[in-house]
Amino acid sequence: MELVRANYCEQINDGFFGQHGGGRAEALLHSVEGTIASNEGKLNDLTFLQQELEPMSGTPDEAASPPPHTTSGLANGARSLAKSQRFQTFVSASIMVSVIIDIVYDSMKPNSESLRPMWLGVSIGLLAIFLLEQSVRLFAYKTAYFKKASNVFDALLVLLTTIGIILELSGMKNWVFAADFWVFRLIRVFRLIVPTRVADAIQFWQQIKKKFSGKGFSEEQAICMEHILMYTAFCKAHVHAQHEFVEFFGRKHMPLPGEQACVILESHTLVYKASVATLKAAASLDQEALDDINILREGSN
C-alpha cells in the first residue's frame, strides 16, 4: 500500500488530476490511508475509494449516512458539504465579490470615508463566510486538512484578515499593521489567482454560462467523468506498484513465493474490478464527453 500511495503522489506531482483536482487527489490518498489504518491485512483500498465516490453519486440521504470504516455521520456530512459543487461555487463567488469590493473601495479611498462603515460591514460578512468554509473543511478532514499547502495558506490568510478587521474596528489606524491593512486585501486578490482558485473561478463562470446557454455537462455526466478519472488513477497506481513490488524483491521474470504472489493477484483483482467500473461509467457517456476527458488528461501531462 505504501507503493500505491507513492504512485498516487507521483501522479499528483505530474498533474494527472489537472489544476482543480485537489479533491480527487485527497480522495485517493484518503482511500489508501483508510486501508493502512484498517489493519485487515488485505488490499481493500478499492472499497475505501468507492466510499469516497459515494457522495458524488448518491442522494443527499445516502451521502449523509456514514459508510463503514469512516468517522461519525456528522463528519461525513461535513466532508460531503466540503466536496459539494454548490458549496465550492458559493465560496468562489464570495471570493470574487470580496475582490471586487476591495478594488472599488481602494479606487474610491480619497472620498470613501463615509463608506467605511458599510465596507467594514461587508468585509465582516464575507469574512464570516470564509471562516465557515475553513471550519467545515477542518472539521471534515481533521489533521489531513493541514497536509494540503493551499489549506494552510487559506487558513493563514483568514487569520490575518480577521486580525486586520479587529484592529480596524479598534481604531488603531496609526499602528503599522492596521495602516497597511490594504496589504491583506491585496493578498486576498492573490488568493484568487493561485491555480486552485483560478480553477474554482472558471468552474463558477462555466456554471453561469451553462445557466444562460443551456449547454454543458449534466450532473450525471460530470459524476461519470469524475469516476473515470479516479478509477484510471487507481489502476495506474496499482499496476506501477506491482512492478515496483516485484523489482524490490529482485525476482523479476521468476516464480514468486506464495505470499508475494497472493499480494500481486489481489492487486490484479482490484485493478480488474476498477477497470470494469471505469468501463461501466464510460458506457453512459457520449463520445463528446469522452473526448473532453481525453483532452483534460493530455493537457495535464
Cα(127)–Cα(150) distance, integer angstroms: 18
What dotted CATH number matches 85-213? 1.20.120.350
d(Cα 27, Cα 164) in Å, to the nearest integer?
35
10-52: per-residue pLDDT in tens? 777 766 665 556 677 777 777 777 777 666 556 667 777 777 7
pLDDT at site 147: 74
Summarize the confidence of residues 76-82 as an average pLDDT.
73
The pLDDT tens digits of the residues spanning 207-229 come to 555 555 555 556 666 777 778 87
Under the banding of pLDDT at 50, 70 and 90, the label for residue 66 is very low
The answer on pLDDT for 268 being more than 80 is yes
Please count the residues of the chain.
Answer: 301
Residue range(s) in the chain whose domain bears CATH number 1.20.120.350? 85-213
The cell numbers describing 85, all together, are 459543487
Mark out the alpha helices in 58-194 (DSSP H runs).
Answer: 60-64, 73-83, 85-107, 116-141, 149-170, 176-179, 182-193
| Span 49-61, average pLDDT | 58
- At residue 193, the pLDDT reads 47
Query: What is the pTM for the complete model shown?
Result: 0.42
- CB-based contacts of 299: which residues, under 8 Å, 6+ apart? 18
